[in-house]
Structure 1
Amino acid sequence: MSIQWFPGHMVAAQKKAAETMEFTDVVIEVLDARMPGASQNPLIKDLSLARQRSHLKVLNKSDLADPKITDQWINYFNKLPKTKAVAISCKKANEPKKILSICRSLAPHRGSSLKPLRMMIMGVPNVGKSTLMNSLLNRRIAKVGDEPAITKQQQRHQINDEMILIDTPGIMWPKIEDEMDSYILAANYAIGKNAYFEEDVAEKLAEILLSKYPALLRSRYGLESTSIDSIGLIEYIAKKKNLKLKDKSYDLLKASTILLNDYRQNKLGRITLESPNVKKIDSPY
């Protein structure tokens, strides 16, 4: 069963974004490079289509992602109409600056003092929109953190006389149809903690890691065989670290938390949880 999370403030944020889209030239959709498919919000696609806006997909946190798969996603997105894609890490000072020049190329009729280029940053929670905003403005104006939904209100900023940037709250969609998408989102802190059980998310994460990155698991945990299943991996971590409850049984919750935190804190290595060749995406954006 898919995890569902759509807090009430997101309804208002969605409505406000729809209103602002009318006066937007380029939509900057920030994706997490570790989950470019799952972090695409279909509501953003629908809003862009309704107004026929140019679309820039920013694969943020690329320093945490598998570079080979990032290249595959960039190639995939760049084949879509009215769409450009770029991979960046906001930790590298010069990389976010690429975005402004790409946006200019997507809306060449805008970008003067008489007709400023109007850009709107959108995305699901915790993909790095606020960090990107701070980088583009060269000052800290947005709160940054690991918890989703920190930004609650839309904010408008003047970069210069020729460019306007609008930051929006992280927006989910009312129903996540794809079960694996929901677990991938939860593994990357895009869904509030009260909406899921960590053991369930860790189990799905383990399933992907055993399939795609067994060598990284061997390196981190000394795993001798990757022929085990996802629950077996979590049990192995519990035994390896001697995590026991009062009744002497192994603490699978604590082991699940360790696996999730190791992934989230990049202690396993550079990982991307999905590839475009196996991800079904029907969006023209």
Structure 2
Amino acid sequence: MTGTTGTTGPDPLDATGPTGTGIDTSRPHPARMYDWYLGGKDNYPVDEAMGRQMLALEPRVPVMARVNRAFMHRATRWLARNGVRQFLDVGTGIPTEPNLHQVAQQVAPDARVVYCDNDPIVLAHAAALLRSTPEGVTEYLQADVRDPATIVDGARKILDFGRPVALSLIALLHFVSDEDGAHELVGRLLAELPSGSYLVMTHATADFTPEDSAAATEKLKSAGVTLALRSREQFTRFFDGLELVEPGVEVVHKWHPELGEPVPGQDDGVIPGYGAVARKP
């Protein structure tokens, strides 16, 4: 799923103010751009326009979006098959089926899933995220990854923090800068989870396409969107103190490919992003 904390300045709301429910359609938003890349309809001309500019710099962006979704499916399937029954998905993005709860509950009907996002559009579509199996639970929290206390407080009402929880941060942290304390925010969320919990992450990188990535970063910055591309070493830091699941940090589409179907086009060059799953000892 996509990150939705990439806009700088005020939250992306209209003249109703920071507590309103309006949506700012004057500038692009990462969640809506991601939806456009996936072929969705919950985006605006400003999102499509920026999306097309990104395509001119990196034509594989739609493939990258689908590869991230496919990783989420495989990681969720692996976790459910290995006994995890609770999931906290931060930066869930605009619903695209199958969603995390559908993948998890297909393996374990009693799985409990909490989705969390800060985008008003996702809130408008929250009902689509709440179609749980009778045995399981799905709920939605409106909160920002930069406010881990609110996320934890809300999730505790639904999940049992005495049992393992899988914390899912798919394509999110590259929209959070070091100045905003990306590594510290992940650490604060993990600190609340018990032993046996997991961290699931994907993250874009400039390791393979430095010039194009620099151009994309500047283009998004001019539109008010933060893009903090991190190296393999910087990404791996998010897992300090955790036990990486084999094969460890890997290019996204190469992490347990046997658990899902390949994305068309994923092997046409290197997909510039890393993924990993790790257990909290």
Q: Which has the larger radius of gyration?
A: 1
- TM-score tier, shorter chain, comes to 0.3 to 0.5
TM-score when normalising by structure 2: 0.39
